[in-house]
Structure 1
């Protein structure tokens, strides 16, 4: 196998899987000789020193892990240059995606007393819901919590649309009565 590797020429893989043409010492020499010019190239493409350095580091890292090695040592510089250009394109694409991202709306944080009042109102509504008949509670929850249409509620509960309408009407009247009686306590 060793003879076969030597016959294939420079850049062929040795039996251990590392590129024959690029050794640790040679990689260090390539880095010392071409890092600055590749970084300048990347800066012109990404317009940011830190991103440019990252792109160049990624290119050298890719060279060391490249499967199949390089056929010619002189191809290493061309490979690195191409890798830097492609890495810069990827960095710009990621940057463009990050800038286009719109975070979800976060509600304004109210004062603690407003939160307490709102929490109390929620507890009152939940208590009033507990006083409803099971079907009335189902219709109200599906209508106002799950935001389903009358037809969707009818299909979900296996009842007619007319039954959904009348049940919702009776449930709202019962909720109003329950909430009014809670206020007078």
Structure 2
């Protein structure tokens, strides 16, 4: 998506500059919800999304197609979420101390029905690759091609991960849909 831009081309592209404020207003909630599904922590998810917007701002002049900005943000959120999870794993491994559990809001149990909590637990128990594919496919509604671009994998890998993830969910949830 990002490629070096020649200096004379840079001026032409500035004319079609990316409206980051409009992107932020329109897609911030969506991207935070996506990040929460990947990192399972609202504060970290908000940080991930904020970092993605900062990266877009820094590299906006290098983005050849302003229409690709949302795809860039989505890919950035997925990659940042992976980094957060890697850092957590490393900290836990070396310090042998688990992070304290975040306290859910008082109305959390009322808002989420039992089957939703079971489904979320099942999705969170999937391997990272399968979880990312299923979240991008069924929650974000992306096509296989878009998922492949966001994750940097082939469409065949997307199909395989989705199939294996769905089979694992079917097994854990006892065939309920």
TM-score normalised by structure 2 residue count: 0.46
TM-score normalised by structure 1 residue count: 0.44
Pair member with larger Rg:
1
